[in-house]
Amino acid sequence: MKPLGIVGIILIVAGVVVLAMGGFSFVKDRSEVSVGPINLAAEERGFVPPVVGIGAIVVGLVLVVAGRRRA
């Protein structure tokens, strides 16, 4: 299989996972401060919406089809 098709399949699988999970959140930045016996932590979170999963599936399908046409 051509590299274009492999990348397409990876995008399709990733898109299906994002859709199955209903999107997912991740930590963008984490800061910690220790002042004596007190520890303070702050996290900035991000969220990947399910729409990104749909986009990944569509782009993956296009890449798989393009990879087969080039073969």
pLDDT digits (tens, 9 = 90+) for 17-69: 999 999 888 888 889 998 889 999 999 999 989 999 999 999 999 999 998 87
d(CA 32, CA 43): 9
Total tally of structural domains belonging to the chain: 1
Output DSSP code: residue 23.
Answer: S
pLDDT at 28: 85
Q: Residue 10 is which amino acid?
A: I
pTM of the entire predicted model:
0.73
- The SS3 of residue 18 is helix
Domain holding 9, by residue range, is 3-70
